[in-house]
Amino acid sequence: MTLFTRKTTTRFMVAALTFATLMSGAACGSGSSSAKDDTKSGAITEETINPGTLTIATGDPAYTPYVEDNDPESGKGYEAAVAYAVAEKMGFSKDKVKWTRTSFDAAIAPGTKDFDMNIQQFSITSERKNAVDFTPSYYNSTQSLVVHKDSKYASVKSLSELKDAKIGAMVGSTSYTVAQDKLKKDVQTFNDNATLAQALDTNQIDALVIDTPSAYNIVESKQVKEGAVLGQIKGSEDPEGMGIVLPKDSKLTEAASKAVTELDKDGTLKKLQEQWLHEYTSTPTLG
């Protein structure tokens, strides 16, 4: 017969309690981790300004080929299509996306925002990163010149021939930076592309600088009557590209950036560019 002394009984009870505590802790840890993972997987849709709905902003108006017929809700146009593809990757179905409008300058200014994401041809720059977050690039555009068909500048073959021309570009844009760098320092600025086009149409300026797809839209939509795309500016391809803007330190930035990266890797961005932007790749280049 085995006899248990008070000491051995106490040791047995301590060991049993220790084992039970360890098992209980492991179970709790497992449950806690699972709950945390579950929360993390669904939390992104609750981090928006209106929980459960992704609010995406674009320009007012928004132009072809980025947004067809100024109707981003249709999903037609390169940026509208990209926005919905990114939203889907982040867990938002099309009916959970709400569109709003902002000016270009207000979108990249410091401060609170009334959108979760904003897509309207924002070039990624270190200066802008001080005020807002960016996803990786979804498109690397060049800049082009638009003139009147009957302008004395309509037949120029080099940028140097535009040294006496009055050049215009949208304030704060990559187009403005390129115009100053490649053409002349004295570049007139306008608050948006609509007033920029109007300035050329009414002969306030001789030529405007804008990204190549938008240049064609300005001509094709008759925003500039008898307008013509003179050509792309040599060396104007944006090395950083265009990124989707998010409020500074947004909780959605990581998910949105991952979505853009995945769409690039799986070929979706290339397919959408071929669908909406293919006609702009053969524009002559002016050096």
pLDDT in tens, the chain (287 residues): 333 333 333 343 334 434 344 333 333 333 333 333 333 446 889 999 999 999 999 999 999 999 999 999 999 999 999 999 999 999 999 999 999 999 999 999 999 999 999 999 999 999 999 999 999 999 999 999 999 999 999 999 999 999 999 999 999 899 999 999 999 999 999 999 999 999 999 999 999 999 999 999 999 999 999 999 999 999 999 889 999 999 999 999 999 999 999 999 999 999 999 999 987 767 889 99
pTM to 2 decimal places: 0.72
CATH number, span 143-233: 3.40.190.10
Q: What pLDDT is attached to residue 116?
A: 98
Residues of the chain with CATH 3.40.190.10: 46-140+240-279, 143-233
> In three state form, how does the secondary structure of the chain look?
CCCCCHHHHHHHHHHHHHHHHHHHHHHHHHHHHHHHHHHHHHHHHHCCCECCEEEEEECCCCCCCCCHHHCHHHCCCHHHHHHHHHHHHHCCCHHHEEEEECCHHHHCCCCCCCCCEECCCCECCHHHHCCEEECCCCECCCEEEEEECCCCCCCCCCHHHHCCCCEEEECCCHHHHHHHHHCCCCEEEECCHHHHHHHHHCCCCCEEEEEHHHHHHHHHCCCCCCEEEEEEECCCCCCCCECCEEECCCCCHHHHHHHHHHHHHCCHHHHHHHHHCHHHCCCCEEC
Write the class of the CATH domain 46-140+240-279: alpha beta
